Amino acid sequence: MNLKELIFGGGVKDAGGAGGAYRDSIQAWLPIKNIIGGVIVTKDNRFVKVCEVLPVNFYLKSPADQENIILSFAAYLKIAPNTLQIMVRTQKADMADYVARMRSYAESEENEKCREMIEDNIAEVDWLGASSAITRRFFLVFQYEPQMKAKRNTVRSIAERLQEEADTARRYLDVCGLEVLEPRYADNTVLELLYEFINKRTSRRVKLPAGVFDMTTAVHGIYEEE
């Protein structure tokens, strides 16, 4: 059984209308059938594209730059998909890597005063992480619409058409100083993102191992043939 089967079902046959998932299981509840070409395929046969956008501090821009950003963003909204949504994910900042790095510095530091300063910094970061520090991630979410007119009525063609929409967003938002990320392995990125959405707390302490992405193959031949 591969990772997609574990998350979306497909490992249990003849389970009765749940798409190969156990009754009352997460697979039966989760409205996602598969991920193909970086596109989420839902159980009601919608095709959804998620693009992460790196933000820019609007208030640090000059008045002229701010006006250009507004005009460029307005121009994109005029041609954006009708189903476009802007999603912001807010969560407490993960300071674990920074704290671990600072502790390694403290262990190798010979000057006692410097070690004290490093320990004070670690204590402050721990306090900020527990009380107020947060991180935000921004996403554009849209789905395939009939007027987009993919070349063929196949999932791969639809995924390619949605990628064209993502490229259009990338060109327009680049003028605004915003970067639309283009992951090398789109399926893996979407799978990890869904894992973080569904397991908000667990994903902060239990990361998907890197090797697990090698198992992201088609489930039960769904949309495998075109």
Instruction: State the pLDDT confidence band at 202, using cuts at 50, 70 and 90.
Output: confident
Highest mean pLDDT among 7-21, 27-41, 89-103, 210-224: 27-41
| pLDDT at residue 48, as a whole number | 95
Contact 51, 139 (CB under 8 A): yes
| Number of residues written out for the chain | 226
Helix (H, G, I), strand (E, B) or coil at 1: coil
Residue in the structure block whose two tokens are 């520090």:
133
Q: Name 52's Cβ contacts closer than 8 Å, sequence gap at least 6.
A: 137, 138, 139, 180, 181, 193
Nearest CA-CA partner of 86 in 180, 188, 191: 180
pTM: 0.68
